[in-house]
Structure 1
Amino acid sequence: MTTIEKSDSRTTAPDRPGGAGSRSFLRPFVVGAVCRRDLARYFTNVAGYVFIVLFIATSSVAAFWPEAFFANNLATLGQLNELMPYLLLLFIPAITMSIWADERRQGTEELLLTLPARDLEVVLGKYLAALGIYTAALGFLAFGLTVVLSWLGSPDLGVLLATFLGYWLMGGMLLALGMVASLLSGNVTVAFILGALFCAVPVFAELLGGLSGAEGARSIGAASVPSHFREFGRGVVPLSGVLYFVGLAAAMLYVNVALVGRRHWAGGERSAGLWGHALVRMLAVVVAVLSLQTLVARAGWRPDLSAERLNTLSAESRQLIRDIPSDRPVFIEAFFSPEVPRDYVEAKQNLEGLLKEFDALGGGKIRLNLIEADRYSEEARRAEQQYGITPRRVFTASADRQGFDEILMGVAFTRGPEQVVIPFFDRGLPVEYELTRSVRTVAGADRKKVGILDTDVGMLGSFDFRAMSQAREWQVVTELRKQYEVTSVSADSEIPADLDALLVPQPSSLTQPQVDTLVSYVESGGPTLLFMDPLPQFDRSQQMSLAPTQPKEQPGGMFGGGQPPEPKGDLTALLDLLGIEWPATDIVWNPYNPHPKFTELPPEYVFITPSSGASDAFNPREPITSGLQELIVLFGGYVRPRSGGSTDFTPLLRTNEEGGIVRFDSLTAPGFFGISIDPDRAVHLATGQDYTMAARVEGEGSASVAEGEDEGESGSDAAGVNAIVVMDLDLISDGFFQLRQAGSDEFEFDNVTFVLNCVDTLVGDESFIDLRKERRRHRTLARLEQFDRAYEAERLEQEAEAEAEADEQLEAARTRMDEKIDRIESDDELDDRTKQVMLSQVREVEQRRLTVAEANIEDAKRRKIEDSFAAKERQIRAIRGQVRLAAAVVPAVPALALGIIVAVIRARRENRGAIPSRLA
């Protein structure tokens, strides 16, 4: 009753500006006074710094000590992000346990609550004090971890900012929850335990959701702290996540105010009903906050703070999502292995992050289900049976082992009867392009029709008489089928006019009637992509018969019979129509090679890249080529505009001026199995000029009038030439698709991107061109990579020395045996019979010695190689140990130094004025 009377005296105090009776809802100076009181009590106590140092040290160890940090090779806090919610279960209760419990234990609670301050002001003051303590600890941690990451590499500061913002919001919400626990007990230890239990509910909600059904697990898991924090760890600041943490913090502060105010009504006859009423109000506030957060999540406001824009969808992807009808959503199921090798970490993070962006921006239009599936789990079995998604066997190299692992990383897109499955996301695939294209395909977008002319190349797959088997279709065809309706087109009859584009591989292999049919199609304005190669390399068994200067191959192969094939046609009419010249016997060569490790490549492997010195290597004004970085052409030709031609000739790919040409006849030589390449007899002519190896041709065309036709009639149906000519067929061979899928660090060629861009441009759909060119790069541990490269170079050098030493010893052993044999053979005093016996004995004995010596030398070489590898691993592990030690110590040094300074100052103040004899 005394407490209530004192409380009433506050409400009847005279009104004065800022006074107890002020009508203002919240008085900042009161809140500030309570906050400063608690902050001073914490930061003048050495025990507070001990907790901060322990928090920093524990977080640093969690961030940098796991082997996964080095295996992933990313300059991020990925490991700490997974553990931070659980670390806060210990640190947050350590801050909040004394906020109310200590007041009650020391008997200052009554004094505090009878001051002229409202309950809300007291609660806010104490909360801001706790938040200030946590912010200071987090500031020390952020500074230390950023320093360590900056020493190891070049971290993305935007991602770090979003990550620490997530830490701060997450801790702020848990602080309000921990304060509730401190209000319920006067014992500090009990308050700590209760605080940990209360905070564990939202932190472990994902695990609790696993006890219910699939839908319940998904709903409960979505309301957990780790689920909402993960977006911040990727560099995204979602409004829904901010509202989740801020809203729950506000709700818990409301609970604090309600519990503090219970002294006004607790203990009376009406208290039983009021307790129920208060509980309902508290639950209603929490439910309201979660409901509001769910509604806001559909707005999709989620800025990407990463400097590399790792989580930003393109305008094309956003427009595609907007165009999906709400009543027909797209279902996406993605299957991941929990752990993937180092080379696939970035691919997994890119795929998982962009899928979440599709889901967040799509709202109800896209339903995403991310599934972590172990190799033999029920989920992996369902992925294989339902979608054909199977584990891929990939190479794994780490400090502990080298070998192969089987990992899952496939995605299935479903909408009604339509289904698109990407069985495995190779690390070289442009992720957003693949996702956007698959969503658009399954969403029922109209597919353009692309035809592939049936030539001797057999791009769609044909029967191979040499191997007596059916050849597979080229991977470029498989790639085109993902986006277009691909059909085979025969040149023996009129080419359909409803094609949106026509691919013509090696038109020089067509017969004359087929060439005439192709000319008619091109003259009618049909979009055409021509691949004209003077020396195809994709199939060594038939490359010479596909060369334009060579006759067609006999039916049935080399030993086949039957009628001789019809001769190849003359392409003059086609070239005249296009207004171009193609010297079919000239092959371009160039000495520029930007890859020092592969200097053995012949100069006919031409690298197209701006770094070669050719500023217009990729035409920057054409969407097809702008933004490309490097492309390679194998034994390709060149094209130039014909003098007096009426078409517009736009170069797409150009070499620099350092190379020249080599004639087909000088590069090849006849042999038993036909003509083959002979680099030794090649004559490389240096011309000092650049060459166009691909071009776009547009205009009215300049084909001569067909014999017997009136000039006006022949041109009446012409719609203008629309063609792209590429002077290499190998540019789209399967090898480049395999390189693209593997994501080779040495070869990142844009061959596939260039060809697909050509097709998109011809069909009039350029929405995917920019997506294909994207390269999302994560910041890596550059310093450790330098150490790894240096140690690897040293190891390879030692291995080469061991190889050379072994070869030298073997050569010396063989020389000794040869010398003994020569001495016997040159001894004129021995008769032939004796020489033969002695030579036989010497050869037998020396051969046994040589065999033993070879075994010993090989064994010694193997041991040296193993020792060099072991030395490299020891050096790498030593570096990692130094990093771990520095990471555990450096971040905690500032807080530790400040704590020591406070301890010294406090000790001096306590001893000030004391009798010296008592201090002795």
Structure 2
Amino acid sequence: MSTTLGSVLLVLVNLLLIDLLFVAFLAVVVAILAKSKQAAFAVMRRNFVGYFSNPTGYVFLCIFVFLTSLAAFWPYEFFNQNLATLDQLNGWFPLIMLVFIPAITMSIWAEEKRQGTDELLLTLPADDFDIVIGKYMSAAAIFTASLLFSQLATFLTLAILTQGQVDTGLIFTTYLGYWFVGLVMLAIGMIASFLTGNLTVGFILGALFNAPLAFASLSGSLLPPGRLAGLLEASGISAAFDDFGRGVISTSSVIYFLMVASVALYVCMVLIGRRHWTGGKDGNTMAWHYIARVLALVVVTGGAVLVFRSWDVVRVDATEGKVSSLSAATKKMIRNLDPDRPVVIDAFISDEVPEQYARTRYQLVNLLKEFRSEASKAGREIVVNLHDNIELFSDEAQLADDRFGIVPVQRTVREKGAVQQKQLILGAALRSGLNKVTIPIMEYGIPVEYELVRSIETVSRAEKKKLGIVSTDARLMGGSVMAGMGMQQVPQHPLVDELAKQYDVEQVSLDAPLEKGQYDVLLAVQPSSLSPDQFNRLLEAIKVGIPTAVFEDPFPAARSYITATGQPKQSPGGFMGGGGPVPKGEIRQLWDLLELDVPTRPGMSAPGTPPMMNPDLVWQRYNPYPNMPMPMNDLFVFIDDQAPGSEDSLSHDSPITRNLHEILIMFAGSVSPKENATLKHTPLLKTGSLAGTIGLSDVQETMAQPDELIKRQGIGGERSIVAVAVEGSASGASEEGAAEETEEEASKSEEGGEAKDNENIKVVYVTDTDLMIPDFLMLRADPNQSDDVRFQMENVSFLLNVVDWLAGEMDFIEVRSHKPFVSSLAMVEEVKMEAAKDERAEVEAFQSEYDEIERVAEETRITKAKQYQDEINKLQRDGKNQAKAQKILQEFRNWEAIEERRKQVAQRTQEREMAKTRKQIRRRADTRVENIQNIVKATAVTLPCLPPLIVGIIVFSSRRLRERENVAKSRLR
């Protein structure tokens, strides 16, 4: 609690410092005005003090703070999205301003006319500019003070909800955008006030004059799609505010607000100065003259806005999580696009998106807009057609289905106390020329920027790099395996589908030698299962410099059809399972080539072949997921930067693992560089200090005995390398175990013929294949599969990084490692986690209680059955009373049938009770969460109104006391 309070205070102080700098800047501007334009400063001070000397000012201030808090936190979408942003307030803010801004501007000039002080004001030794700018700055000061009240209230609420993890930059930038919106609407509202002497009419006209800019964003839904609708949308304040709402300060947005406000102020100058020429003989001519001037300014403003939107000079992402930034690699990719081949992106997002997809939706919208802006700045063309908030059965949804095959997908969600199936659309289609890539669903576990960049590269690149997948027992490309007495079909591994999005994937049989350049990278999973000839060709491919990823597993636990490193390979032998061991590659030749030491112990061997060696397995005592539903032992090794003694467990020296944080390996082996190795070895994955190794035979013997397994593991204290990158010249590698040069090749060399050159070796060696099982791709897409477990494993990113590093695709590694952070409502999440934990504990307690009752009942049934059986056996041994024995046997069978039916009824009853109990527990858990949300809503809406009320009471109390100071007591009432 104290840590959370400290974090909240820290971010609050940070915001106050930023606000202080901003207010100091404004104070400098006012000081310059006071020095150079004393009359304007006098007008500003008079109006500002007059506004807050009136109770009406504080009433409107309370209403403003109340409405902003209500719009920010009351909508259901705020808690459903679970993001610490102001998206809901952004949508409602223009409407709130249509009420609040006229309340400020209606008395700017209308009150002067009503009270007859306008003539006095115009006779001051000041020009029209002084009057207008003084009035405007007083209104801006009033609005700024109001906005600060709202900002502090909103920020404090978000800071508490996020437990101090709120994005200060995003909130400040959003309110900076609100400030610019206010500057424009104040200037327009002043026009209304200069036209009338009635406060009510001034309020109504102020709202009407600002309405077109406020509602311009609705043009797309009111008008048919086309250039006119797009132009009207772009002219509104919502389009210019959009950058600020996403945490970006851009030149185009600032220019828009400043120029529109300047045009409105110029109109005010014309209106206040018309007394000089109305009524004269040239009055009509001057009126048309000023109308032409205003129209010219509008045209100039529109042109300037269009220019800067097409060429945004400066764009600063002020968010702490960099949610509106593109990585350097992405910007480089955009600059390298062919300017003659535009890329078209059609994104479709449904109006309702479940909580787990809210962050993905937020990032997708942000990044698409940044793609468009960056392409415009770089002189490239990326056309973004963003179809947001579409209904599932709308014309746009039908367009997504007909043209791109993007259809609603169904996901199981838990909302409002019920588990339900919900459909959503969150896909994109990318086109360039004749190439097209469709992303049917943006899974929330996959980085959005990576998906978009990879798809853009695919549609814009002429050809892909070639990836060869070596045909081994792993059967990544699919195939058949023996299962029992028949053959079983193995589907293509989903990792291949993932790689095929970026590479031209081919299966490599190694029936013939490979030449350098034939493949950009090879992927060999369990190469020890290759035949000796194929294995030697793989070694030669590595020697000639083909980058290769090797995954060699001493104990493939997840896929039993893969032959382990130290086990003989069995011949398929037909449907009867016949056939003995067949020759396989000598893995020690690969270890010698890569100068690796592998701790091994003698294993099985085939007749007439050298004895095979079983590599030891690594273990580690660390589990970051104590609530994981599946049983685990220490052979499930989490390579985690939070594990005890895990310094540099994920190497910071390699781009493959530099930005990764957690990888799960299972039943993996251990390697280490040989002494005096000439190749460069970079450990990629290492265990922590609470780890060690254990023999494969010990694991196999004690798998069903957890205590014995732990006993054989020992105390550990030995760190192991489970993945390593190997680089260097093959000529410097150890030649032990390498294939000998044939006489024909030697004779060619002696005769001056073509000889093989040793090239640089580039290999990543990983001692596990289980880290690439399809489950990890499913977890990557859907990491929140359990209510109380949030999986963070990055196995898929590691695998893709390995292939990209070998292929030289470093940009993709950088894009994949760019992880923008959006603050979530940690306090609400904590309540949900606690509720889920309590739910699980209660369910387990109920299950344990039922299991105990069932155990006692089973023991009673066994005792009763034994009594029957003993009596029947006794009668059968005596050989007498066979009729009685038959009768007792029949009774026993009837009793068994009754007990079986009773057991089935009890099971069905237990299932109904369990379902009922789960429902009640979930209802209580959801009620806890809903109560927290209701408390937050009520507090966030009511408490912010208190500070302005308190300030108002203090001001009026002090004013009242000053008025009573020199009044005789006899005159006081």
TM-score by length of 1: 0.89
* Shift in alpha-carbon separation, 1:422–1:854, aligned structure 2, 3 A: closer
Q: Verify the 8 A CA contact 1:810 1:854 in the aligned structure 2.
A: no
Distance 1:685 1:163 in 2: 56
Name the residue aligned to 1:530: 550
Name the residue aligned to 1:456: 473
Q: Verify the 8 A CA contact 2:34 2:40 in the aligned structure 1.
A: no
Q: Verify the 8 A CA contact 2:552 2:565 in the aligned structure 1.
A: no
Superposition map of 1:296-695 within 5 A? 296-297=308-309, 298-363=311-376, 365-372=381-388, 373-444=390-461, 447-463=464-480, 471-498=490-517, 499-540=519-560, 542-543=561-562, 545=563, 547-554=565-572, 558-559=575-576, 567-582=583-598, 583=600, 585-586=614-615, 587-598=617-628, 600-612=631-643, 613-643=645-675, 645-668=677-700, 684-686=712-714, 688-695=717-724
SS, match of residue 237 in structure 1: strand
Distance 2:296 2:646 in 1: 68
Distance 2:861 2:526 in 1: 58
SS, match of residue 303 in structure 1: strand
Name the residue aligned to 2:779: 739
Residue 282 (structure 1) aligned with residue 304 (structure 2): no
Distance 2:971 2:900 in 1: 94
SS, match of residue 832 in structure 2: helix
SS, match of residue 375 in structure 1: coil
Stretch deviating more after TM superposition (158-167 or 280-289): 280-289
Deviation at 1:109, TM superposition (A): 1.7
Residue 903 (structure 1) aligned with residue 912 (structure 2): no
Stretch deviating more after TM superposition (835-844 or 367-376): 835-844
Which amino acid in structure 2 is aligned with residue 35 of structure 1?
M
Deviation at 1:129, TM superposition (A): 0.8
Deviation at 1:603, TM superposition (A): 2.4
Residue 886 (structure 1) aligned with residue 926 (structure 2): no
* Shift in alpha-carbon separation, 1:465–1:108, aligned structure 2, 3 A: same
Stretch deviating more after TM superposition (656-665 or 305-314): 656-665
Name the residue aligned to 2:15: none
Residue 766 (structure 1) aligned with residue 797 (structure 2): no
Name the residue aligned to 2:246: 234
% same residue: 35
Distance 1:273 1:326 in 2: 50
Deviation at 1:833, TM superposition (A): 7.7
Deviation at 1:678, TM superposition (A): 6.3
Distance 2:858 2:185 in 1: 78
Distance 2:897 2:758 in 1: 84
Distance 1:177 1:472 in 2: 66
Name the residue aligned to 1:3: none
* Shift in alpha-carbon separation, 1:768–1:45, aligned structure 2, 3 A: same
Residue 105 (structure 1) aligned with residue 114 (structure 2): yes
* Shift in alpha-carbon separation, 1:859–1:379, aligned structure 2, 3 A: closer
- Which of 33, 57, 67 does residue 48 from structure 1 map onto? 57
* Shift in alpha-carbon separation, 1:481–1:34, aligned structure 2, 3 A: same
SS, match of residue 142 in structure 1: helix
SS, match of residue 502 in structure 1: strand
- Which of 828, 837, 840 does residue 784 from structure 1 map onto? 828
Q: Verify the 8 A CA contact 1:100 1:186 in the aligned structure 2.
A: yes
Name the residue aligned to 2:68: 59
Distance 2:770 2:867 in 1: 57
Residue by residue over 1:637-665, the C-alpha shift from the partner in whole angstroms, topping out at 9 and shown as x without a partner, is 22233456543333222223433334444
Distance 1:474 1:833 in 2: 60
TM-score by length of 2: 0.85
Q: Verify the 8 A CA contact 1:610 1:629 in the aligned structure 2.
A: yes
Which amino acid in structure 2 is aligned with residue 460 of structure 1?
M
SS, match of residue 569 in structure 2: coil
Residue by residue over 1:650-707, the C-alpha shift from the partner in whole angstroms, topping out at 9 and shown as x without a partner, is 32222234333344444448xxxxxx98677969444643222111222333334335
Residue by residue over 1:796-822, the C-alpha shift from the partner in whole angstroms, topping out at 9 and shown as x without a partner, is 333333333344455566667778888
Number of equivalenced pairs: 887
Residue by residue over 1:341-397, the C-alpha shift from the partner in whole angstroms, topping out at 9 and shown as x without a partner, is 111111111121111111111115222111123222222222222222222222211
Which amino acid in structure 1 is aligned with residue 934 of structure 2?
G
Distance 2:516 2:869 in 1: 83
Q: Verify the 8 A CA contact 2:169 2:247 in the aligned structure 1.
A: yes
Name the residue aligned to 1:797: 841
Superposition map of 1:744-763 within 5 A? 744=784, 746-763=790-807
Which amino acid in structure 2 is aligned with residue 492 of structure 1?
D
Q: Verify the 8 A CA contact 2:568 2:582 in the aligned structure 1.
A: no
Name the residue aligned to 2:919: 866
Deviation at 1:878, TM superposition (A): 1.8
SS, match of residue 695 in structure 1: strand
* Shift in alpha-carbon separation, 1:25–1:295, aligned structure 2, 3 A: farther
List runs of 5+ in structure 1 lacking aligned partners: 1-23, 670-675
* Shift in alpha-carbon separation, 1:33–1:394, aligned structure 2, 3 A: same
* Shift in alpha-carbon separation, 1:121–1:614, aligned structure 2, 3 A: same
Residue by residue over 1:824-847, the C-alpha shift from the partner in whole angstroms, topping out at 9 and shown as x without a partner, is 999999976886687688778877
Which amino acid in structure 1 is aligned with residue 74 of structure 2?
W
* Shift in alpha-carbon separation, 1:437–1:719, aligned structure 2, 3 A: same
Stretch deviating more after TM superposition (727-736 or 545-554): 545-554
Stretch deviating more after TM superposition (506-515 or 896-905): 896-905
* Shift in alpha-carbon separation, 1:209–1:287, aligned structure 2, 3 A: farther
Q: Verify the 8 A CA contact 2:34 2:41 in the aligned structure 1.
A: no
Residue by residue over 1:34-84, the C-alpha shift from the partner in whole angstroms, topping out at 9 and shown as x without a partner, is 111111211100111001001111111111111211111222222111111
List runs of 5+ in structure 2 lacking aligned partners: 1-32, 601-612, 876-880
Which amino acid in structure 2 is aligned with residue 362 of structure 1?
A
Distance 2:128 2:723 in 1: 77
SS, match of residue 36 in structure 1: helix
Distance 1:566 1:315 in 2: 51
* Shift in alpha-carbon separation, 1:514–1:809, aligned structure 2, 3 A: closer
Distance 1:25 1:644 in 2: 78
Deviation at 1:88, TM superposition (A): 0.5
SS, match of residue 351 in structure 1: helix
Q: Verify the 8 A CA contact 1:660 1:684 in the aligned structure 2.
A: no
Distance 2:556 2:969 in 1: 98
Residue by residue over 1:80-115, the C-alpha shift from the partner in whole angstroms, topping out at 9 and shown as x without a partner, is 111111110111111111111111122222222232
Distance 2:481 2:232 in 1: 58
Distance 2:885 2:793 in 1: 66
Distance 1:797 1:678 in 2: 26
Deviation at 1:791, TM superposition (A): 2.6
Distance 2:327 2:903 in 1: 67
Superposition map of 1:168-183 within 5 A? 168-183=179-194
SS, match of residue 306 in structure 1: coil
Q: Verify the 8 A CA contact 1:453 1:503 in the aligned structure 2.
A: yes
Residue 696 (structure 1) aligned with residue 728 (structure 2): no
